[in-house]
Amino acid sequence: MPRALRAALAAGEYGARPADSRDARGADPDVQRDGPEVPGDPEQPLGDPESVARAICLRLLTQRARSRAELAGALERRGVPAESAARVLDRFTEVGLIDDLELAQTLAGAQHRERGLARRAVAAKLRQRGLDADAIDRGLAGIDAESERRRAEQLVDRKLVALAGLPTPVQQRRLVGLLARKGYPSSLAYEVVRQALSSRAEPAADPRDELELPADDL
């Protein structure tokens, strides 16, 4: 749980889960129903939109950090009016519960270090999380050409252990394919794989080693 969220919950600024945690249409999102929800059902009391928005955002943020766009989408799906959602999201951003720049940096580092994704693949992941161009640029700042090459070399070295014994063309094809799936440029992939395979190639035997010396020379 993010530090800012723990502090907010501990201070009781928002409440862990307000008593009225229904969505803006009056439905409790945690209650599963047998049939489709009937819009405008008079038996379902309408929740206060901002209270609903706070409850939804807090519940989602206790699971993992989320971008403002992700939370806005969740509020829209729950029927929270746009103005109420914007006010809650602005407040959450103000107190640090939403921080797209920090989220971009954290996600980019994890995707690059732990999953071995190249810069362009990391950018695609950040866009999927609804982060804007400025946040993505900030997240990618720590992934330069040197770190990208180093990570590609680590991936190849690790994979080569599992490919030991296979013909060299097969190893090359699989290693290049691995890097391509991780988003590495083909030029870098072929260069890294070629160097890795050449460094592991057995040196050619010296023809003189195969000659039998005459007995007088022994």
Q: Is residue 111 one of the residues assigned to a domain?
A: yes
User: How many distinct structural domains can be found in the chain?
Assistant: 3
Q: Is the domain of 8 the same as that of 64?
A: yes
- Type of residue at 184: Y
Q: Is the domain of 70 the same as that of 118?
A: no
Q: Is residue 206 one of the residues assigned to a domain?
A: no
CB 23 within 8 A of CB 53: no
User: How far out from the chain centre does Cα 88 lie?
Assistant: 25
Q: Is the domain of 122 the same as that of 155?
A: no
Q: Is residue 135 one of the residues assigned to a domain?
A: yes
pLDDT higher than 90, residue 37 = no
Q: pLDDT band at 61, cuts 50/70/90? A: very high
Q: Is residue 71 one of the residues assigned to a domain?
A: yes
Instruction: Note the pLDDT of residue 200.
Output: 80
pLDDT higher than 70, residue 22 = no
79 backbone φψ class: left, alpha, beta (φ>0; ψ -120 to 50): left
For the chain, what percent of residues have pLDDT higher than 70? 71
Q: Is the domain of 11 the same as that of 90?
A: yes
Q: Is the domain of 159 the same as that of 134?
A: no
Q: What is the pLDDT of residues 154-211, one digit of tens each?
A: 999 999 999 999 999 999 999 999 999 999 999 999 999 999 999 886 554 444 544 4
Answering whether pTM is above 0.85, one says: no
pLDDT higher than 80, residue 28 = no
Q: Is the domain of 149 the same as that of 192?
A: yes
Closest CA to 124 of 113, 112, 73, 190: 112
Instruction: Note the pLDDT of residue 76.
Output: 96
User: How far out from the chain centre does Cα 168 lie?
Assistant: 33
Q: Is the domain of 22 the same as that of 56?
A: yes
**Structural domain boundaries enclosing 179:** 145-200
Q: Is residue 86 one of the residues assigned to a domain?
A: yes
